[in-house]
């Protein structure tokens, strides 16, 4: 337990340093694009992903295990006054039922949803993106329709670039690829009106990624 706590603190410290560094060096257009090949472990990728997600106005939460995820989600939902969190993933529904998390909704009537909880195919560290597909229990609508998208992912789902994520999809589904594959990079946004950035114009206005150390059961 002590070793796990040390590892978590190390990851969180690196993430804080990365975000602080990024705030000081906010994007020179002359910077070179990162290479497509990234040699590192999941701890390094978590730091890269957290920094990239922050750059696109997303929110990153690192959790040691599924129990800590539920604890953090409970605190967040109480703080935000969310009472209708829709989740269609069977494993997560079982987790919520086991701890009597009463804010979880299973039905597909999304007009009153405060947030949609989904899993993902992969997390792309370089761009802070989430790879989604219609093969997931959330289908096409749960990550788009509610005003808040909450993605639950695991460290073994981290890859560095889009190519790596697409390679995983090809291996996972072989010749039976999902009919719909998409990338979500931060909350939806537009600057069409007077060049003023508006979040949530065509989809969720907030995005939270809970990255959990333990692999999905």
pLDDT at position 92 is 95
Q: Is residue 33 part of a domain?
A: no
Q: Is residue 181 part of a domain?
A: yes
Q: Is residue 142 part of a domain?
A: yes
- The pLDDT tens digits for 168-206 are 999 999 999 999 999 999 876 555 555 554 554 567 999
- State how far the Cα of 206 lies from the Cα of 203, in Å rounded to an integer: 9
- State how far the Cα of 76 lies from the Cα of 37, in Å rounded to an integer: 36
Q: Is residue 27 part of a domain?
A: no
Domain that holds residue 173: 2-21+40-188+199-212
pLDDT at position 7 is 52
Query: pLDDT tens per residue, the chain (217 residues)?
Result: 444 455 566 666 766 666 555 554 443 433 444 444 444 556 689 999 999 999 999 999 999 999 999 999 999 999 999 999 999 999 999 999 999 998 999 887 898 899 999 999 999 999 999 999 999 999 989 999 999 999 999 999 999 999 999 999 999 999 999 999 999 998 765 555 555 545 545 679 999 999 999 765 5
Return the CATH number at 153.
3.40.50.10420
Q: Is residue 217 part of a domain?
A: no
pLDDT at position 109 is 84
Q: Is residue 208 part of a domain?
A: yes
pLDDT at position 146 is 94
State pTM to two decimals. 0.80
Q: Is residue 32 part of a domain?
A: no
Q: Is residue 141 part of a domain?
A: yes
Alpha-carbon torsion (22, 25, 29, 31), positive or negative: negative
**Count of domains forming the chain:** 1
Return all residues near 169 (Cβ < 8 A) that are at least 6 apart. 121, 122, 131, 133, 177, 178, 181
């Amino acid at each position: 337990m002590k070793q796990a706590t040390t590892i978590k603190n190390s990851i969180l410290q690196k993430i804080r340093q990365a975000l602080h560094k990024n705030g000081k060096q906010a994007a020179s257009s002359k910077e070179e694009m990162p290479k497509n090949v990234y040699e590192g472990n999941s701890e390094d990728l978590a730091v890269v992903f957290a920094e990239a997600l922050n750059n696109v106005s997303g929110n990153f939460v690192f959790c040691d295990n599924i129990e800590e995820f539920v604890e953090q989600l409970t605190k967040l939902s109480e703080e935000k006054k969310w009472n209708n969190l829709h989740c269609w993933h069977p494993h997560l529904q079982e987790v919520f039922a086991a701890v009597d998390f009463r804010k979880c909704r299973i039905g597909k009537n999304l007009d009153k949803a405060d947030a949609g909880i989904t899993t993902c195919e992969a997390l792309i560290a370089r761009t802070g993106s989430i790879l989604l597909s219609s093969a997931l229990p959330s289908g096409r609508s749960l990550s788009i329709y509610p005003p808040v998208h909450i993605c639950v992912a695991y460290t073994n789902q981290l890859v560095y670039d889009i190519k790596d994520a697409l390679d995983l999809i090809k291996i996972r589904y072989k010749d039976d690829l999902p009919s719909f594959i998409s990338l979500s990079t931060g909350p939806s946004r537009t600057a069409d009106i007077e060049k003023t950035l508006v979040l949530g114009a065509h989809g969720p206005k907030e995005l939270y990624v809970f990255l959990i150390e333990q692999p999905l059961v």
